[in-house]
């Protein structure tokens, strides 16, 4: 039995599962073909309290990250991880709540909770990848405005977004100490959305290029203090990495169960595939590895609920979960044989979707570097 969740979390799970079964699964294949989720789904999710659940009153439902984790698990279990609710609710909204002014919170958070305003965060640029210190987008102050110039890419929710948190250099000569976070609203002159990018997986997640050509925004759109953006990013990235780990663990659990059921029913040479030692050993190993991952991720989740999750521990969770997800889903696909390559059984699509987990939120190599920085401290 898992002890990290309370009764109210499990009640929320039931609500989320019913919503997914009713509002998502019947249409998900079409959204994957379209490359975008309709805004009407966001409105329905907002009406049912499934957006930004960890925001306190009066903005949200007064929940905590446990409610967010339940949603992550249910979307992962249903293999609907393309839907960009998590980025909106667990990444963008917390930046605004934690670093925004009262006026910013009052203006942007209520419509985000209702699903009327969809959020995105623009970090990555062509050529920068995980190196946030190297961003080239600039925000030059002119009086009471910032003039933003630059380009962003691989931005989840980019097409649907009504508000984007832009990572920009307000002091280009200061490196990481010259980064600020500035909110840019849809319709701002000089801000445009590029093409909807085609990806090998997560097709329903609209992913875009964003362009800023002398885009003028009020200084009052800045989150927190000028030139403190990198510090804010480093603080919030631990939660983003835990989001990825929680979702990966849920997908492993779901497809382990599906693969056990498939191999039990699939006959080869007159016997169930599950009766063969190779199959049993592969699945036994997967179960043992997953049990250890689940224990560690739940421990990280419990620590985060107490605001005690460290950046290096979050990096460990993301590294282990994303690497294991790719490896085990490949094993599950193999056990499905030719049917694993067919969309009907979903394991092939899940395997492709999982691959980005080793890249976004900081690549596996970056996670190793974060962990490596603590090695000598362990000896003290």
Q: Could you give the residue ranges of the DSSP H alpha helices within the chain?
A: 7-19, 28-34, 39-47, 65-77, 85-86, 93-99, 102-114, 229-265, 277-305, 311-336, 347-354, 364-372
Return the closest-CA partner of residue 247 out of 85, 56, 6, 53.
85
Return the closest-CA partner of residue 119 out of 96, 138, 99, 98.
96
CA–CA distances in Å: residue 272 to residues 227, 260, 277, 341: 62, 11, 11, 20
Q: Are 301 and 66 in contact (CB under 8 A)?
A: yes
The one catalytic residue among 74, 209, 240, 253:
240
Based on the residue annotation, tell me whether 240 is a catalytic residue of this protein: yes
Work out the end-to-end distance of the chain between its first and last CA atoms, rounded to an integer number of angstroms: 36
Can you tell me the distance from the alpha carbon of 294 to that of 332, in angstroms, rounded to the nearest whole number? Answer: 18
Distance of CA 210 to the CA centre of its chain: 19
Can you tell me the distance from the alpha carbon of 81 to that of 349, in angstroms, rounded to the nearest whole number? Answer: 11
163-169 vs 119-122, strand pairing mode: parallel
Instruction: Count other Cβ atoms within 10 Å, centred on residue 280.
Output: 14
Q: Are 13 and 73 in contact (CB under 8 A)?
A: yes
Tokens 């991880």 belong to which residue?
A: 81
Distance of CA 69 to the CA centre of its chain: 11
Can you tell me the distance from the alpha carbon of 179 to that of 67, in angstroms, rounded to the nearest whole number? Answer: 31
Residues tagged active-site? 240
């Amino acid at each position: 039995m898992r002890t990290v969740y309370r009764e109210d979390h499990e009640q929320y799970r039931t609500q989320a599962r019913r919503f997914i079964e009713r509002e998502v699964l019947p249409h998900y294949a079409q959204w994957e073909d379209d490359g975008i989720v309709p805004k009407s789904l966001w409105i329905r999710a907002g009406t049912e309290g499934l957006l930004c659940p960890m925001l306190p009153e009066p903005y949200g439902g007064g929940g905590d990250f446990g409610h967010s984790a339940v949603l992550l698990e249910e979307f992962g279990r249903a293999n609907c991880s393309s839907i960009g609710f998590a980025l909106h609710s667990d990444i963008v909204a917390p930046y605004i709540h934690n670093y925004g002014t009262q006026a910013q919170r009052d203006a942007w958070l209520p419509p985000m909770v209702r699903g009327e305003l969809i959020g995105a965060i623009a970090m990555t640029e062509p050529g920068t990848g995980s190196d946030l210190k190297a961003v080239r987008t600039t925000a030059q102050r002119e009086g009471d405005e910032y003039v933003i110039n630059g380009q962003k890419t691989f931005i989840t929710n980019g097409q649907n977004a009504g508000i984007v948190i832009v990572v920009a250099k307000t002091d280009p000569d200061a490196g990481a100490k010259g980064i600020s976070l500035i909110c840019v609203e849809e319709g701002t002159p000089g801000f445009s959305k590029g093409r909807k990018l085609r990806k090998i997986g997560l097709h329903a997640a609209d992913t875009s290029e964003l362009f800023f050509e002398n885009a003028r925004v009020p200084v009052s759109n800045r989150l927190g203090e000028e030139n403190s953006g990198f510090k804010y990013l480093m603080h919030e990235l631990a939660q983003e990495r835990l989001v990825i780990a929680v979702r990966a663990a849920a997908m492993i659990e779901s497809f382990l169960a599906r693969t056990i059921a498939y191999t039990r029913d699939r006959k080869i040479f007159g016997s169930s595939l599950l009766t063969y030692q190779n199959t049993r050993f592969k699945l036994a190993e997967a179960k043992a590895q997953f049990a250890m991952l689940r224990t560690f991720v739940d421990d990280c989740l419990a620590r985060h609920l107490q605001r005690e999750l460290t950046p290096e521990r979050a990096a460990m969770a993301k590294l282990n979960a994303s690497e294991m997800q790719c490896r085990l889903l490949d094993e599950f696909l193999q056990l499905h044989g030719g049917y694993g390559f067919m969309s009907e059984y979903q394991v092939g699509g899940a395997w492709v979707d999982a691959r980005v987990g080793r890249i976004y939120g900081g690549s596996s190599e970056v996670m190793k570097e974060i962990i490596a920085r603590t090695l000598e401290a362990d000896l003290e």
